[in-house]
Amino acid sequence: MTFDRFTGPVWSLFRMVVGLLFACHGLASLFGLLGGNKGTGEAVPLGTWPGWYAAVIQLVCGGLVLVGLFTRPAAILASGSMAYAYFVVHQQTGLMPIQNGGVTSALYAWSFLAVAALGAGPWSVEALLSRRRAATTAEPVTA
């Protein structure tokens, strides 16, 4: 029995879950939803560096990765922002993520790097648009 037929759908589900969870961080920080920024119930003040900009990246890139549109560029930006968070914020207090509280940042950075490398998968807006384009170009032209 082969499990290859599950690879595409499972990858798509992985991408969707990671995108959704990342977007939730953005919603919490930008709008104070879902417990707010760091559980305070409040939003990050507009334009605050780096928190507000990170939250915009989280919401926008998380949403794009969730639906599978502009997936690779969004995942690269999200991965880079999480690598920045890890090295600038967390690594100052310890080398290993378990020591410095950077496990979430490290997991997001590597997860988004994998999404950027492997793409959106079959359950995505990109795959839907690709199938539509292929169907349109395959139709015979009638005069």
pLDDT the model gives residue 38:
80
pLDDT the model gives residue 141:
59
Mean pLDDT, the chain, whole residue set: 93
Per-residue pLDDT tens over the stretch 3-16: 889 999 999 999 99
Spatial CA neighbour of 90 closest among 82, 78, 81, 101: 101
pLDDT the model gives residue 140:
66
Spatial CA neighbour of 114 closest among 86, 76, 81, 82: 76
Per-residue pLDDT tens over the stretch 70-121: 999 999 999 999 999 999 999 999 999 999 999 999 999 999 999 999 999 9
112 three-class SS: helix
